Amino acid sequence: MTDALFLSSSAVDDLAAPADYVAAVRDAYRQVGEGAPAEPRTKLFNREPPGMFTTYAAVLPETGAMGGYAYSAGFGAGDAWFMTPLFDAESGAPLALLDGASMNPFKTGAAGAVAVDALAREDATELAVIGSGAQARGQVATTATVREFEAVRVFSPTPENREAFAADFDERLAADVAAVESASAALDGADVVITATTASEPVIADGDVEPGTHVTAMGQYDPAKNELPPELVARATYVPDLRARAAQDAGSYLAAVEAGLIEEGEGIAADLGAVVAGDHPGRTSDDEVTVFDSGGTGVETVAAAHMLYERASEAGRGQTIDLAPASDALTGE
């Protein structure tokens, strides 16, 4: 039998700060940029009850780990569960099984923060946030570790939600954080824009994105999800998390293709790994508009899970579970 560790969300939710997630995820994307394998998600849809089952994976040889997510969303319970199997990348043996819910906003936010660090102007001081849910919180918490923002403006349709978000982060950040009444007001003067919604129609206007702006769009995990206007995607230096994902399920990219503004497979400057690894320059001028399209991958998932696994092991957390290798149990008897 092989010992592995089961880690609940509560066992790991206090083990890492936002900056720790960013450091782990940055190194993971560097590895992918240098050739480590990672594939976009696979999605299976159920009609009745309506739901989605999703998997995605990555191998990070230098980290020494591989694995990914398997999660269900919707179905009869109308909820979601995130399971994260983690394996040793050298021996192939299982290391851990994590309840991946609590780390989700931070590992996804860390991918956005890595992109902001790589693509936004160094002198960026104003941040616009569209959305006020858990993913928006993770994006802001991590992105605030890579730039010294002086002002953060948040808009979401429900006044109570955006005001609560602003009040929370106004206490947590050195920046002045305020809720505003429109997306246009949030983007006015913004150097960095984050969209963290489940929208099927663009939540910002192309004309509100000024020269030199960086945009991170993280609600881009399905062809029907489309946070950005197609004109913006077409004129920007467009960087997805994984190049192969753009034509598969990056809704805003596919909308730009459908609009005839770019040809399918074109208009992709590089993926994030290539930029982090130094194979693509990313931003090349202060007037350039850059877009990071984040749909969620196994890259940040494995990086975050392994970091939490190591820290939990050191802290003596979790429960040991026994898993039989095939040489013992796959007998057919």
CATH 3.40.50.720 maps onto the chain at 119-293
Cβ proximity of 192 and 116 under 8 Å: yes
CB 141 within 8 A of CB 18: yes
- Say which CATH superfamily domain 2-104+298-329 falls into: ornithine cyclodeaminase, domain 1 (3.30.1780.10)
* pLDDT in the model for residue 153: 98
Cα atoms found within 13 Å of the Cα of residue 48, Cβ hemisphere only: 0
Contact between 6 and 323 under an 8 Å Cβ cutoff? The reply is: no
pLDDT for res 121? 98
Residue 325 Rama label (left phi>0; alpha psi -120 to 50; beta): beta
Q: May I ask the CATH architecture of the domain 119-293?
A: 3-Layer(aba) Sandwich (3.40)
pLDDT of residue 28: 98
Exposure pattern of 219-238 as b/e (b: 16+ CB <10 Å)? bbbbbebbbbbbbbbbbbbb
How do residues 136-148 score in pLDDT, each as one tens digit?
999 999 999 999 9
Largest CA-CA distance found in the chain, in angstroms, rounded: 69
User: Which residues lie below 8 Å from residue 319, measured CB to CB, with a gap of 6+?
Assistant: 5, 6
Q: According to CATH, where is 3.30.1780.10 located in the chain?
A: 2-104+298-329
Neighbours of 264 (CB within 10 A): 12
Could you say which residues of the chain have pLDDT below 50?
none
Instruction: Provide the phi-psi class of 252: left if phi over 0, else alpha when psi is between -120 and 50, else beta.
Output: alpha
Judge if pTM exceeds 0.75: yes
Residue entry with tokens 């996804």: 108
